[in-house]
């Protein structure tokens, strides 16, 4: 078993998008970490690590790939066993893996029920199962952290908002008649699951409060990632920001800069309303 004193951090869905940017931000930090890059496919994880070491040639940290498919209980259990045997603890669990399937509903690639079940399975049920499995390792840490990556679109109180252009666009009602015109960036399914994820975070905050586990919902903002199949350039034209901003935000949370906001859904500059 490793005797490292460096914080051990697992990020799911970390070979691309926001997860990768979080790995990179931590890898660039002057603080040394044991970063576990969770990837459904090991080869894609290895490619991400190779890219990372090209972009960040030197680091105080160590990064390694952990095979984990959040939709597979056996994969989750195997990852738990690997981390348990090597480190005996986990200091930070970042539930980042997610799915945006609304465009696949719109295109007819997935049926409506099939897509909704998949979205809830990946975005909510899988995060719950994975967290439940890894609790013993978190409780073995002296500074346990638990994060659920949610969405700025998940706030119920902002579903009528129009002061922020991307939100105004998402909240705009379509014209009368059926079927409705296809949206450029449909998120009905995605948005609903992330609202559900916020409640899951609150439940875990309650469950683990007396165990000293710091729990947050991470709302990284509107970022130009590959999630949902829209395309990074198209998202940037809609006002999406560089994904690296989200990675830096997660690093700041890991490094204690939002400890006063545990139990909340947090944005980089504020607490997100419910």
The answer to the question of residue 12 being in a domain is yes
Active site residues: 151, 190, 194
The answer to the question of residue 78 being in a domain is yes
Distance CA 268, CA 219 (A): 8
Joined tokens for residue 123: 């975005």
Three-point CA angle 103, 238, 198, nearest 5°: 65
The answer to the question of residue 174 being in a domain is no
Q: What is the dihedral of CA 161, 164, 170, 174, to 10 degrees?
A: 70
The total number of structural domains in the chain stands at 1
In this structure, the number of other CB atoms found within 10 A of the CB of residue 104 comes to: 20
SS3 65: strand
Distance CA 267, CA 151 (A): 9
pLDDT mean values, one per 10 residues, the chain (274 residues) = 90 96 98 98 98 97 98 98 98 97 94 98 98 98 98 93 79 92 87 98 98 97 61 61 86 98 96 96
**Torsion-angle region of residue 130: left (phi > 0), alpha (psi -120 to 50) or beta?**
alpha
Residue 237's pLDDT is what?
Answer: 61
Distance (Å) of CA 81 to CA 14, 92, 137, 233: 19, 16, 10, 40
The answer to the question of residue 210 being in a domain is yes
Residue 90's pLDDT is what?
Answer: 98
Backbone angles phi, psi at 233, to 5 degrees: -65, -40
SS3 153: helix
Backbone angles phi, psi at 37, to 5 degrees: -85, 105
Q: Residue 260: which CATH number? A: 3.40.50.720
Residue 227's pLDDT is what?
Answer: 56
Write the DSSP symbol of residue 175: P
List the domain range (segments joined by +) for residue 234: 8-155+187-271
pTM of the model: 0.93
Distance CA 92, CA 262 (A): 14
Distance CA 145, CA 135 (A): 11
């Amino acid at each position: 078993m490793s005797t490292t004193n460096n914080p051990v951090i697992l990020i799911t869905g970390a070979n691309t998008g926001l997860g990768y940017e979080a790995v990179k931000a931590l890898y660039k930090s002057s603080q040394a970490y044991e970063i576990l890059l969770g990837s459904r496919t090991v080869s894609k994880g290895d490619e991400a690590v190779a890219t990372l070491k090209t972009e960040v040639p030197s680091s105080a940290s160590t990064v390694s790939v952990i095979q984990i498919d959040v939709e597979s209980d056996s994969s989750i259990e195997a990852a738990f066993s690997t981390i348990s045997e090597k480190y005996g603890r986990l200091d930070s669990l970042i539930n980042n893996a997610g799915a945006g399937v609304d465009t696949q509903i719109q295109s007819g690639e997935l049926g409506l029920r099939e897509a909704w079940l998949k979205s809830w399975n990946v975005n909510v049920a899988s995060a719950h199962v994975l967290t439940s499995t890894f609790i013993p390792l978190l409780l073995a840490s002296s500074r346990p952290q638990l994060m659920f990556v949610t969405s700025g679109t998940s706030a119920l109180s902002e579903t009528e908002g129009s002061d922020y252009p991307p939100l105004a666009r998402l909240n705009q009602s379509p014209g009368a008649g059926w079927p409705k015109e296809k949206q450029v960036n449909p998120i009905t399914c995605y948005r609903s699951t992330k609202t559900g994820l916020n409640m899951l975070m609150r439940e875990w905050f309650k469950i683990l409060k007396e165990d000293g586990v710091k729990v947050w919902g991470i709302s990284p903002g509107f970022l130009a990632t590959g999630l949902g199949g829209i395309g990074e350039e198209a998202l940037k034209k809609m006002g999406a920001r560089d994904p690296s901003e989200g990675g830096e935000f997660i690093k700041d949370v890991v490094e204690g800069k939002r400890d006063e906001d545990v139990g909340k859904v947090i944005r980089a500059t504020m607490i997100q309303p419910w």
